[in-house]
Amino acid sequence: MPVRSDDLVARALDHDRRAVAKLISMVERGGDDAHEVVARLYRRTGGAYTVGITGAPGAGKSTLTDKLVAGIRADGAEVGVLAVDPSSPFTGGAILGDRIRMQEHATDDGVFIRSMATRGHLGGLALATPQAVRILDAAGMPWVIVETVGVGQVEVEIAGAADTTVVVVTPGWGDAVQANKAGLLEIADVLVVNKADRDGADETARDLEVMLDLSDLGAGDWRPPVVRAVAATGEGVGDVWDAVLTHRAHLEDTGGLERRRTERTRAELRAIVAHRIQEQAAGACSGSAFDAAAAAVLAREIDPYEAADKLLEDVHGG
């Protein structure tokens, strides 16, 4: 017998981890159930602060996330972690790796860790991730960390939609160039040179500072600090977290947090409208009416634009 979403919502609001996990699965699948979950939870959200962590594969993002979680818990706050992997629909690979690296937190009721993949539904992670964040928010998590596995467009969009975005690179000029090309520097609020005990760390930090100097990324009211860290040993992780807290205070003091969240809401709304229209278009481009329209265009009885307008009129009841 399926569990009713209102029962799951009630349990999630009461900090039931299994209910939270099931609700996230529902929003990953998309569809009416996902919309219902969001509708039931939405008015209980708005309290969580989100931190996006992204960077090139192998940069040590998961290790850094693990150490940040430990620091947050040491302060007594609860935290949710979403490890996002748009490329893998499987339950192994990066997902298993994330859980192994963070296994010390697995039995901590104050930590919720979840790996997310596209799982094939049309909305994709660009739509599912904000809803998963809202579930953790409504469940009482004051901090939500969104870690992305790669540096593709989807990953950059997801990480960049956080309140504070941390971009992680490793020693070597090539990584700095890769970060720049991937658009990571444009979304960075904090830049971390991880594995800073390796040769080339100082040069990489200087390169990043020069990139900030030569671009307009450091010319506004916030210049992303470049922080050195060795996440594997914990060295510098406190400095990374201090930079996150400083950025949060800056946003709150200047009104930047409200502006960011306003733009994020507008962007999400645009994405949902676009997705809904795409679904409607897919429906309009199938069936007998579409076949008839295509045949009429082929026979030169009607031009393609007029045919498209007619199909859209039918979709909207015009």
Residue partners of 163: CB distance under 8 A and separation at least 6: 49, 50, 51, 248, 251, 257, 260, 261
Instruction: Measure the CA angle with vertex 135, ends 92 and 182; round to 5°.
Output: 60
Q: What is the pLDDT at residue 235?
A: 96
Tokens for 287, please give them.
């069936």
Residue 52, beta-bridge partner list: 146, 165
Check residue 121 and give its pLDDT: 42
User: How far apart, in whole angstroms, are the C-alpha atoms of residue 32 and residue 191?
Assistant: 39
Residue 7: other Cβ atoms inside 10 A: 11
Return the CA Rg of the chain: 22
Task: Please tell me the predicted confidence (pLDDT) of residue 185.
Answer: 80
d(Cα 286, Cα 178) in Å, to the nearest integer?
A: 42
Residue 236 tokens read as: 């510098």
Q: How far apart, in whole angstroms, are the C-alpha atoms of residue 137 and residue 144? A: 8
In the 3-class helix/strand/coil scheme, how is 204-229 assigned residue by residue? Answer: HHHHHHHHHHHCCCCCCCCCCCEEEC
- Torsion over CA: 298, 304, 310, 311 (sign): positive
Q: Are 227 and 204 in contact (CB under 8 A)?
A: no
Q: pLDDT in tens for each of the 318 residues of the chain? A: 345 678 899 999 998 999 999 999 888 887 888 888 989 999 999 999 999 998 878 889 999 999 999 999 999 999 999 988 765 544 433 444 444 556 667 678 899 998 887 554 444 666 788 899 999 999 999 999 999 876 667 667 777 789 999 999 999 756 555 556 557 788 899 999 999 999 999 999 998 888 888 876 655 689 999 999 999 999 999 999 999 999 999 999 999 999 999 998 998 889 889 888 888 888 889 899 999 999 999 999 999 999 999 998 887 765
Enter the pTM of the model: 0.85
**Cα distance between residue 135 and residue 23, in whole Å:** 7
138 within 8 A of 46, measured Cβ to Cβ: no
Q: Which two tokens stand for residue 295?
A: 């045949």
pLDDT in the model for residue 271:
83
Q: How far apart are CA 55 and CA 149, in angstroms?
A: 8
| Cα–Cα dist 116/235, whole Å | 29
Tell me the pairing of strands 143-148 and 79-84: parallel
58 φ, ψ to 5°? 85, 0
Tell me the C-alpha distance between 131 and 4, whole Å: 18
Q: Which domains does the chain have, with CATH numbers?
A: 46-254 (3.40.50.300), 271-315 (no CATH)
80 - beta bridge partners?
A: 112, 144
DSSP structural state of residue 4:
P
Q: Can you say whether residue 93 is alpha, beta or left, with left for phi > 0 and alpha for psi between -120 and 50 degrees?
A: left
